[in-house]
Amino acid sequence: MKAHSASLLNAVIPIAVSAWAYLASATTSMTAPIPAMFGALLLATYPGVKAENKVFAHIAVLHDSFV
């Protein structure tokens, strides 16, 4: 698997799971969208990772270590 594919997958999964948790819950929580924010930040680094920009790749790896 290429790095940009893994980065995209690691960005989409938290967005999808947090959207599901927020929409499926009977009582919505303000903390449910937090993973979506992290996924959106990782998604913002995706073009740089795909272009093999080392700065964006290191930011994405740093971000993945916290998520």
Q: What is the pLDDT of residues 24-33, one digit of tens each?
A: 988 888 888 9
Domain count, the chain: 1
2/40 Cα distance (integer angstroms): 20
Nearest Cα to Cα of residue 28 among 38, 41, 37, 18: 18
Say what the pTM is. Answer: 0.80
Above 80 in pLDDT, residue 13? Answer: yes
pLDDT value of residue 66: 67
Identify the domain containing residue 18 by its residue range: 3-25+34-66
